[in-house]
């Protein structure tokens, strides 16, 4: 977490590209967003790549606003994807740029204002002096428990659906049933088996 008190006025005067576009497009609250999304201590935490996308979408949105364009929910994100996505054909990209130009958006300028994840990282660490505290061991275990628990629940749900479907289709005969998902980890040093839950709770194998 950061010790810094957030002050948008101070940060917009930083000389880096993020500071410059924040001032140019009047991106209110951007620094606060960057810091809080980056230091969020849950699985929702943004990577610097996610943050760069966020910054660039705000730039695009501001450019659309400036041109007085109306857009629907999700349209900015989609337009950004069409402009930058790896999975978008060059034909689609050209078409998207043409449409934006027709709407008086200075596409080239907007694109030149897009930032990389490295730029965002430098802005966070150098200009905003934010540091990312690495999570404690206990927090990492907790996160892993949550993640694996969710995965187990999904596996159980899919299994239940599949069995039920086969049963309805008369492919499989079964009475009322219950699905239990068990993941076991074997320590190859001593051949001891643990459920993943026990292993995380106990923090390692007995033999170590």
**Long-range pairs of 64-71 with CB within 8 A, sequence gap ≥ 24:** 64/105, 66/25, 67/103, 67/104, 67/105, 69/103, 69/105
When the beta carbons of 18 and 83 are compared against Zn ion, the nearer one is 18
Would you give the distance in Å from CA 117 to the centre of its chain? 13
Residue 52, interface with Zn ion (CB under 5 A)?
Answer: no
Tokens linked to 111: 């694109």
Q: How far is the CB of 149 from Zn ion (least distance, A)?
A: 24
CA separation, residue 123 to residues 12, 78, 118, 134 (Å): 11, 26, 9, 19
Residue 123, interface with Zn ion (CB under 5 A)?
Answer: yes
Q: Candidates 97-105, 133-141, 174-182, 192-200 — which segment interacts with Zn ion by CB under 5 A?
A: 192-200
Q: How far is the CB of 96 from Zn ion (least distance, A)?
A: 29
Q: How far is the CB of 208 from Zn ion (least distance, A)?
A: 6
Q: Candidates 2-10, 92-100, 127-135, 155-163 — which segment interacts with Zn ion by CB under 5 A?
A: 127-135
Farthest CA pair distance, the chain: 70
The DSSP letter of residue 41 is -
Among 86, 138, 173, 189, binds Zn ion (CB under 5 A): 189
User: Among 120, 125, 122, which residue's Cα sits nearest to residue 54?
Assistant: 120
Tokens linked to 172: 């499989």
Q: How far is the CB of 77 from Zn ion (least distance, A)?
A: 24
Residue 199, interface with Zn ion (CB under 5 A)?
Answer: no
Residue 14, interface with Zn ion (CB under 5 A)?
Answer: yes
Among 187, 196, 199, 200, binds Zn ion (CB under 5 A): 187
When the beta carbons of 10 and 163 are compared against Zn ion, the nearer one is 10
């Amino acid at each position: 977490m950061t010790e810094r008190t957030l002050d948008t006025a101070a940060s917009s005067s930083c000389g880096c590209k993020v500071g410059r576009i924040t001032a140019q497009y009047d991106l209110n609250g951007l620094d606060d967003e960057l810091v809080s999304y980056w230091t969020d201590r849950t699985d929702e935490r943004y990577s610097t790549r996610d943050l760069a996308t966020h910054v660039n979408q705000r730039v695009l949105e501001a450019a659309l606003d400036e041109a007085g364009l109306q857009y629907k929910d999700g349209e900015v994100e989609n337009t950004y994807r069409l402009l930058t996505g790896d999975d978008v054909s060059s034909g689609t990209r050209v078409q998207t740029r043409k449409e934006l130009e027709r709407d008086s958006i200075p596409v080239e300028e907007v694109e030149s204002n897009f930032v990389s994840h490295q730029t965002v990282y430098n802005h966070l660490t150098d200009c905003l002096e934010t540091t990312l505290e690495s999570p404690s061991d206990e927090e990492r275990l907790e996160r892993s428990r949550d993640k694996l628990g969710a995965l187990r629940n999904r596996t159980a749900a899919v299994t239940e659906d599949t069995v039920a479907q086969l049963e309805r289709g008369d492919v499989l005969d079964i009475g009322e049933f219950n699905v239990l998902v068990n993941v076991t980890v074997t320590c190859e040093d001593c051949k001891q088996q643990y459920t993943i839950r026990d292993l995380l709770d106990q923090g390692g194998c007995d033999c170590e």
